[in-house]
Chain A
Amino acid sequence: MLKALVIDPGKCTGCKQCEMACSYENELEFNVSKSRIRVFDFHEQGKMVPYTCTQCAEAWCQQACPVNAITTDAASGVKIVHENLCVGCKVCTIACPFGTINYNASTGKVIKCDLCQGSPACAEACPTAAITYQDVEQAGFDKMKMWAAKSGAASESHGANAPVAKH
């Protein structure tokens, strides 16, 4: 059964434990600037929003990769960057409309959330269950995925994305 990160911004307190857990898992240091998950703070509304890759089914990053360096793990559905294949061209970073795959200048490769091989450190670290790792079916309506679908494929002929300017 596929599992997914389910994010409920309403439960986020802005503590950034997720960012620290993520950076430690991936970089072996506490470095929120290298976290694959990021908490956005809308302080004037008292609202905090954790944000990361949704592992979208038809992944833009994966399709844009010219060298097949991003693949889908069949069991988990996770989009994985293979560092040995990534040439650092960064096309995925502009192709992903969510901005959740990013260039890491210190390695010359791109980084993204890979759900920590099945036990996401962010969900484990979240004190208020704003981030949980759940069976997709149980999770039910997942806003980010819905949005991914809506804004998604260039194949969609209608929707938000009508041409905006005529010369």
Chain B
Amino acid sequence: MKLISYVILGAGPAGVTAAETIRSLDKNGTITMIGGDPEPPYSRMAIPYLLHGSVKEQGTYLRQAPKHYEALNINYRHGKAGGIDTKSKQLFLANGDVVLYDKLLIATGASPIIPKVPGTQLPGVHSCWTLSDAREILKLADKGAPVVLVGAGFIGSIVLEALHQRGCDLTVVEVAPRMVARMMDETAGGMLGRWCTAKGVHVLTGTKVEKISEAAGANGATLSVGLSNGTSVPAKLVVLAAGVRSNTGFLVGSGINVNYGIHVDNTLQTSAPDVYAAGDCCEAIDISTGKPDMLAIQPVAVEHGRLAGMNMAGKVTPHRGSLNMNVLDTLGLISSSFGLWQGAPGGDQSKMIDEEKFKYLKLEFLGDKMVGAQCVGLTDHVGMLRGLIQTGLHLGVWKERLMESPERLREAYVEVSQGTAARGAHVNAPVAKVA
């Protein structure tokens, strides 16, 4: 029997998970995983923790065993994608190499969006996306250094935490009217803003960066960041965190359908046979809407990678959709959102708010199912929200109870999920332990 040649383009969570999944199902095929970065496969999510020093570079690696890929007979090599010929099943790398494949996974991830303002190419202006970015940031982000962070979305807010912990004099500039506007509502975003302000971060929402220019200033500042409010802020370091977009440029002309991300079917196969896509570069089903969307988060990348791997190895497994969700620690205030946190048309919502204690819980329902949730300042058993939303369990009587008392969601979850059959009358006496 001919050995199948699997090629995985990308070595992020989706790529690595796919490679491992394929290997678990096909012991003999050749697996080549091509990464764009020089380091072993690592997690971008872990970079903020590298910045605040809680891990070293190795701590960001996706797999910790030193010979992990060799042990699984996964050939890990470096290279950047140049193009694909889906008819001849050839992958062209930027350096001119040609790689033949039987099954190809595109898991090229996403790249940071660089705002279209003058000065983003200046020294001292960096994204926070790769280990190489992190090294540059570490050189500049010392205690007391004036730092401007552009963007207070999900990624920006994680970076914010790291920079604050390093003791930087931090100004965060966000064009939206609140922090994490694509993850949570005004109430939650407002709490985060107040919290960060109280911790000494200058939070400027509803504000645009108009240009970055060179200008020496106090505390090592070499840059000046001009803002839409007419002021300018000195900076030694400017970190850009204004969102990401899928890496699909190399597919132009390949015939593979691309929207914001790569189109895939419910087996994560692209419009080209034997070419699959997973992770940030693709648009797969969002379970909440039933429609394709780019959900650029780690757990979704892993889910995609696992499913794509199964389908590539011949174990046909349809994807029923992934759940959008995020968790964020902003200087100790922990928030999370799930699914249709902004609510469903025709749905109901219940909320508890304690502005003083920075606590917020909002649940979104459609009929007697939970479809979305957001919380601030609550971490206990928070995964149950995913459980309720993703399984779409009927809440029955608990719907009304949660409408009245959303804080009882743990009880609701346990009873709804663990079965509620009333038990027969009986008593329980202590029993001797069997030795």
Using a CB–CB cutoff of 8 Å, the interface residues on chain A facing chain B are 9-13, 38, 40, 42, 45, 47, 49, 51, 60, 63-64, 66-68, 85, 87-91, 93-103, 105, 108, 124, 127-130, 143-144, 147, 150-151, 154-167
Contact = CB atoms under 8 A, between A and B. Distances in A.
Interface in B53-73: 54-55, 59-64
Contact of B319 (A98, A105, A155): A155
A66 B306 contact: no
11 contacts: A64-B298, A66-B46, A67-B64, A89-B327, A95-B299, A95-B383, A103-B334, A154-B390, A161-B287, A163-B320, A165-B345
Contacts of A159: 320
A87 B59 contact: yes
A64 B304 CA distance: 12
A102 B385 CA distance: 13
A15 B178 CA distance: 46
Contacts of A66: 13, 43, 45-46, 62, 298
Given A91-B45, A155-B319, A49 B288 contact: no
A89 B298 CA distance: 11
Interface in B211-261: none
Interface string B373-397: 0000001111111110011110000
Contact of A164 (B60, B64, B288): B288
Contacts of B393: 151, 160
B14 to A, nearest CB: 12
Contact of B318 (A143, A151, A157): A157
A87 B60 CA distance: 9
Contacts of B45: 66, 89, 91
A87 B59 CA distance: 8
A7 B159 CA distance: 42
Contacts of B334: 90, 103
A128 B430 contact: yes
Interface residues of B, number: 79
Nearest to A91: B298
Contacts of B129: none
A93 B59 contact: no
A130 B382 contact: no
B319 A96 contact: no
Given A93-B327, A94-B327, A127 B387 contact: no
Contact of B366 (A129, A143, A164): A164
B64 A11 contact: no
Contacts of B327: 89-91, 93-94
A126 B393 CA distance: 30
Given A49-B414, A128-B431, A165 B289 contact: yes
B269 interface: no
Contact of A99 (B288, B413, B422): B413
A89 B392 contact: no
A151 B417 contact: yes
Contacts of A63: 17, 299, 302-303, 306
Contacts of A68: 61-64
A147 B302 contact: no
A90 B381 contact: no
A160 B430 CA distance: 38
Interface in B311-334: 317-323, 325-327, 329, 332, 334
Contacts of A87: 46, 49, 54-55, 59
A52 to B, nearest CB: 11
B411 interface: yes
B410 A99 contact: yes
Given A66-B62, A91-B298, A151-B391, A98 B306 contact: no
